[in-house]
Amino acid sequence: MTEQVPTKVDMEKIVSLCRRRGFIFPSSEIYGGLSSCWDYGPLGVELKRNIKEAWWRAVVQERDDMVGLDASILMHPQTWEASGHLKGFTDPLVECKNCHLRWRSDDLADNNCPSCGGELTEPRLFNLMFKTFMGPIEEEANVVYLRPETAQGIFVNFQNVVNTTRKRLPFGIAQIGKAFRNEITTGNFIFRSREFEQMEIEFFVKPETDKEWFNYWLEERLNWYVKFGIKRENLRLRQHTKEELAHYARECYDIDYLFPMGWSELEGIANRGDFDLVQHASSSGKSLDYFDEESKEHFVPYIIEPSAGVDRSTLAFLCDAYDEELAEGETRVLLHLHPALAPIKVAVLPLSRREKLVEVAKQIYADLRQCWMVSYDDAQSIGRRYRRQDEIGTPFCVTIDFQSLEDEQVTIRDRDTMNQIRIPISELKNTLQAKLAGEPLFVLPPGGKIWKEEKEV
C-alpha cells in the first residue's frame, strides 16, 4: 500500500539529500568551506549536465533560428563601461556601526542591523563585479573583470555570427557559461551564490516585432520547465515594476518558482531593445547595424533575452521532484526527476553475488552503459537498493535473479509506481529506450507483446 504523506519540501531536506548522496558539497569543505560557493558531486554534475543538455537541445539543436557560442569569461574592460555595468551594476550597501556586518539595504525592513540591532550607516553603492589583474603587474591599467553575465559575450560577437553564419533576422545566439557576482547577501543554498552558471539567449529581431517575440519567449520558456517536470502551479510570471527594471530593459518578466523560501526568480525575460548594440557600436566605433535585404534598410536589431540560471534550475528541479511516501510502513524518499534529467537512467541489480549471476549482470551493465549513465549495485537487500535508487531519481532498475539464468529474462522496476515487468534480455535495451522516452511500463516496443505488470515484492 502506498499513501501520500503531506510534506512541504523544506530546504534542509534538499540540502541534506544533496550532501548525503553526493549531489552538492560546500566548496573547499576541508578548509571549512567558502561562503556561497558550491561543488557539484558525482550525481550533481550529471543532473546539471542533463539540464544544460535539455536546454541546449530545445533552444539550439531543435531550432533553425538559433546558433551557439562559447565566449571567454574575461572580456575587454571597455565592454563593462559600454554595457553600463561599471556604473550601474550596484547594490546599496549599509554597515552596522556596532558589529560592522554589512547588508543590502533594500533587503532590510528598517534601519537596524538584523544581527545586533545596531544603527546602520547611510547606504552607499557597491559594485558587484569581481576584479582581477591581467598579466604580472597589479595596477589600475591592468584591471579586468570576471563577467557578471554571459550576455555581453554574445553582443560583442553579433557581427561575427552574422558574417559567418549568414543568419537573417529573427535569430538568436545561445550560450551557457559561468558568471560571477560579488553578492552582498547570498544564501538559500545554491539559489544565490557568487559563482554560478547561466543559460542565456539573445534573440535578435526587427524592432517593430519585439512585443510579439517577447510574448513568444515567455510562453516558450515557461513550457520548457513544465515539459521537464515542474508543476505548473509552482511557476508564475511576474512583471518588473518601472523602479526595478534593469538599466538596459524596456520590459521584463521573471519566471518565478515556488522555492521552499517562497516565490523567487528562476529566469528573467527582458526586452533589451537596441541598448546593448548601440552602446557597443558607439564605444568600439564598429558598426553593429544589420542590413535587411528585403527592405534594403540598415537598422539596429532589438533583443529579447531569456536568461536562466543553471543552479537555480537545478534547485527547482530537485525541489519539485522531491517526494516522500509511506510504503509498507516505511518512508520512501524519492525524486520524480524527468528521465532526461535523472543523473542515472538505469541501475543494474543482481539479486546475489554468485558468480553466474554476476557474469550475466556485468554483461548487461557493460551493454547498457554504451547508451546511458548506468549504475551497478550489489550491496545489501534488493529493497534497500531500490530505495537508494529512488532517492537519487533513477527511473528504472533492472534485476537479475536465478530465474534469469534459466529463462534469460530480467525484471524492470519503475521508480514512480514500483511496478515491475519481466522481459527477455534480448529486448532490454529497446524496452528501456522506449520507457525512458515516456512509454508506459507495460507496453513493449512495436511488435512486442504486452507484459504483465506486477507490484514490487
Residue type, 400: I
Does 127 sit near ligand GAP (CB under 6 A)? no
Does 193 sit near ligand GAP (CB under 6 A)? yes
Does 312 sit near ligand GAP (CB under 6 A)? yes
Which phi and psi angles does 449 have, rounded to 5°?
A: -95, 170
User: Least distance from C-beta 302 to ligand GAP, angstroms?
Assistant: 15
User: Least distance from C-beta 385 to ligand GAP, angstroms?
Assistant: 35
* Interface with ligand GAP: number of residues (CB under 6 A): 19
In the range 325-384, which residues lie near ligand GAP by CB under 6 A?
A: none
Does 251 sit near ligand GAP (CB under 6 A)? no
Cα(32)–Cα(122) distance, rounded to whole angstroms? 33
Q: Which long-range contacts (CB under 8 A, 24 or more apart) does 102-105 make?
A: 102/184, 103/184, 103/185, 104/184, 104/185
| Per-position DSSP letters for 391-421, written without gaps between them | HHT--EEEEE-HHHHHH-EEEEEETTT-EEE
Cα(27)–Cα(37) distance, rounded to whole angstroms? 5
Residue type, 311: D
Does 308 sit near ligand GAP (CB under 6 A)? yes
Task: Please select the residue that binds ligand GAP; options are 265, 323, 325, 453, rule is CB under 6 A.
Answer: 265
Nearest Cα residue to 132 out of 183, 180, 90: 180
Q: Given the rule CB under 6 A, which of 71-79, 159-167, 214-222, 266-274 is the region that contacts ligand GAP?
A: 266-274
Q: Given the rule CB under 6 A, which of 80-88, 188-196, 236-244, 334-342 is the region that contacts ligand GAP?
A: 188-196
Contacts (Cβ under 8 Å, ≥6 apart) of 6: none
Q: Which residues of 330-343 are buried (b: 16+ CB within 10 A; e: fewer)?
A: eebbbbebbbbbbb
Cα(455)–Cα(175) distance, rounded to whole angstroms? 44
In the range 72-111, which residues lie near ligand GAP by CB under 6 A?
A: none
Which C-beta is closer to ligand GAP: that of 309 or that of 395?
309
- Burial classification of residue 232, based on how many CB atoms lie within 10 Å of its CB (0-12 exposed, 13-18 middle, 19 or more buried): exposed
User: Least distance from C-beta 319 to ligand GAP, angstroms?
Assistant: 14
**Can you name the residues that pair with 119 across neighbouring β-strands?**
112
Task: Please select the residue that binds ligand GAP; options are 44, 273, 306, 309, rule is CB under 6 A.
Answer: 309
Cis peptide, bond prior to residue 170, ω within 30 of zero? yes
Does 149 sit near ligand GAP (CB under 6 A)? yes
Which C-beta is closer to ligand GAP: that of 193 or that of 399?
193
Which C-beta is closer to ligand GAP: that of 159 or that of 186?
186
Binding mask 150-179 for ligand GAP (x = CB under 6 A): -x----------------------------
Does 200 sit near ligand GAP (CB under 6 A)? yes
- Contacts with ligand GAP by CB under 6 A lie at 149, 151, 181, 183, 192-193, 196, 198, 200, 265-268, 305, 307-309, 311-312
